[in-house]
Amino acid sequence: MTSSSVTSIHSRDNAFVKDLRRLAQDSTAYRKQGRVWLEGDHLCRAALARGQRAAIAVYSESFWPQAQMEYAQAAPKTIVLADALWADISGLESPAHMGFVVELPQAPALQPGVATVVLDRLQDAGNVGSILRSASAFGFGQIAALKGTAALWAPKVLRAGMGAHFALRLVEGLALEDLDGLGVPLLATSSHEGEFLHRAALPWPCAWTLGHEGQGVSEALEARARQRIRIAQPGGEESLNVGAAAAICLHASAAARDLAQGT
Amino acid sequence: MTSSSVTSIHSRDNAFVKDLRRLAQDSTAYRKQGRVWLEGDHLCRAALARGQRAAIAVYSESFWPQAQMEYAQAAPKTIVLADALWADISGLESPAHMGFVVELPQAPALQPGVATVVLDRLQDAGNVGSILRSASAFGFGQIAALKGTAALWAPKVLRAGMGAHFALRLVEGLALEDLDGLGVPLLATSSHEGEFLHRAALPWPCAWTLGHEGQGVSEALEARARQRIRIAQPGGEESLNVGAAAAICLHASAAARDLAQGT
């Protein structure tokens, strides 16, 4: 099952190992290298299931025998790393020491008329990944990340996104004015103002905006929104986790759409 | 503003420092010590805002001058740690080097008739904390954690919970049979079966069950549920993040309750 392109590496100073270490540990290294690092069995399978192809498959030496059975021909190039090097690169305690290097898709432009999630300076990689996952689940096709948002293809975002990256159009580094091209109504989540989500009529397609973990959606962005929407919190908490708020809003759009179609 | 109970510590081998290091780094040390560690400004303020009292306030030497203004008399005992010791204890990059040691509440028994969230072997501290936060926001009063669930008072869960711990009744280490005492209908979240959430009539009070990140709710627990409920995912994803799923379900209960009252 092995092909002629299998390379074993034992040196920390190998150029590929250095690049891979940067990809795995530096959240914006993908921009320089033009490729991303998917680590672990679950994430790699999710990417394959969405038709994504690996450029390079990377396995630890001790995982390599199993990899030859489970991942035969997963990529045109295979690299087998000495176990000691693996520990040096990976931050995961995954039992399967494997990962794929994938070519970063060409940065797309915003597509008008598409149901979109706008990220306004979100900081936490876990939150961003979880929102991408919810967006994909609820039929949103595009993510518009404003400048100051965490890097969308960072390894931690990829892990939390669990493959959603490969089902979405991801546009980064946008200015506020770029959103004018969306052509769908902006809905701003607010903690204190606007209509309650569960009583609101929601347009489709739309663009939900989600704001910075501490500061929420900026005033300038809120001013561009057609509706401000808040989530009723009878328990009296002042702020949900933004990933939780996103899930609730995006689901509400999908539910409203389904109910409108069904009646 | 300083009181007579201020102690400075410079030694790594000091008994309090050793205990604090365990509390901060070992997710179950609170069970032995009978107290928990709240680290960082935001979390400590959230606990104070819910009427929680600190047993010991801990500050780094360099934060101490500011602490005397901002946290005067926050606790009967104050400990000032040499900056080098702080780095040794803390995993956070928070600018405010401060935290509270708080007495762990007596482990309560399950209270019947209360809206509850049942956690079935959830593993990820961030997910558990986010669910506690959503539970508190949406008017659930009690968390029932089955054996095998992440420790509820672990530092990472406390951070993600953002004070929700102090607004909830938290019961840990339960067996399946213990849930018989809840006296409210169990609703099981399911990824493939049951009624769609947005079309379901939801009872109140109820107990939502949320399952293990990989395996979901166990069959034995599902068998005890009155209803199985699933979240429509028109985008075709197979699994939402469990914190996202929880937020959607708990919000749906709160919304249904509000709509029933309003009409």
For B55-69, the pLDDT digits (tens) are 999 999 999 999 999
Residue in A160, A236, A259 nearest the CB of B198:
A259
Which residues in chain A touch residue B233, judged by CB atoms under 8 angstroms apart?
A: 137-138, 254
Residue in A139, A160, A239 nearest the CB of B234:
A139
Residue in A126, A135, A162 nearest the CB of B126:
A126
Q: How many CB atoms lie within 10 A of CB A181?
A: 12
The C-alpha angle B180, B186, B189, rounded to 5 degrees, equals 135
Mean per-residue pLDDT of chain A: 92
The verdict on A200 touching B (C-beta cutoff 8 Å) is no
Confidence of residue B124 (pLDDT cuts 50, 70, 90): very high
**Inter-chain residue contact B235 with A197, CB threshold 8 Å:** no
Which residues in chain B touch residue A237, judged by CB atoms under 8 angstroms apart?
A: 133, 136-137, 164, 167
Closest C-alpha to B198, from B241, B253, B145: B253
Rounded to the nearest angstrom, the minimum Cα separation between A5 and chain B is 34
The verdict on A130 touching B (C-beta cutoff 8 Å) is yes
Query: Using a CB cutoff of 8 Å and minimum separation of 24, what contacts does A107-113 make?
Result: A107/A171, A107/A172, A108/A169, A108/A170, A108/A171, A109/A171, A110/A142, A110/A144, A110/A171, A110/A174, A110/A178, A110/A179, A110/A181, A110/A182, A111/A141, A111/A142, A111/A169, A112/A181, A112/A182, A112/A183, A112/A184, A113/A183, A113/A184, A113/A205
CA A110 to chain centroid:
16
Chain A interface disruption, residue of B114, B131, B138, B261, most A CBs within 10 A: B138
Rounded to the nearest angstrom, the minimum Cα separation between B125 and chain A is 12
Tokens 């959830």, residue located: B122
Q: Which residue of B has its CA nearest to A237?
A: B137
**Residue A129 corresponds to which amino acid?**
G
Distances (CA, A) of B116 to A250, B180, B181: 24, 13, 12
B24-34 per-position pLDDT tens digit: 999 999 999 99
Report whether A130 contacts B242 (CB < 8 A).
no
Average pLDDT in the B67-87 region?
91
Closest C-alpha to A125, from A224, A26, A219: A26
**Inter-chain residue contact B139 with A235, CB threshold 8 Å:** yes
**Inter-chain residue contact B247 with A255, CB threshold 8 Å:** no
Closest C-alpha to A154, from A15, A16, A18, A39: A39
pLDDT recorded at residue B101? 96
Q: What share of chain B is helix, strand, coil (3-state, %, to 5)?
A: 40, 20, 40
pLDDT at A192 > cutoff 90: no
pLDDT recorded at residue B1? 45
Closest C-alpha to B242, from B153, B116, B131, B158: B131
Q: Which residue of A has its CA nearest to B248?
A: A248
pLDDT at B15 > cutoff 60: yes
pLDDT at B218 > cutoff 50: yes
pLDDT recorded at residue B238? 65
pLDDT at B2 > cutoff 60: no
- Proportion of chain A above pLDDT 70, given as a percent: 95
pLDDT recorded at residue B4? 56
**Inter-chain residue contact A133 with B244, CB threshold 8 Å:** yes
In whole angstroms, give the CA distance from residue A48 to residue A60. Answer: 20
pLDDT at B37 > cutoff 70: yes
The verdict on A90 touching B (C-beta cutoff 8 Å) is no
B19, containing H or E segment: helix B15-25
User: How do strand B207-211 and strand B186-189 relate by DSSP bridges?
Assistant: parallel
pLDDT recorded at residue A2? 46
Q: All domains of chain B, ordered by start, with CATH?
A: 6-103 (3.30.1330.30), 116-262 (3.40.1280.10)
Closest C-alpha to A97, from A85, A107, A108: A85
Q: What is the ipTM for the molecules in this complex?
A: 0.91
Residue in B126, B197, B233 nearest the CB of A137:
B233
Which residues in chain A touch residue B138, judged by CB atoms under 8 angstroms apart?
A: 233-235
pLDDT recorded at residue B207? 98
Residue in A136, A167, A244 nearest the CB of B134:
A244
Which residues in chain B touch residue A167, judged by CB atoms under 8 angstroms apart?
A: 235, 237
**Residue A31 corresponds to which amino acid?**
R
Which residues pair with residue B140 across a beta bridge? Answer: none
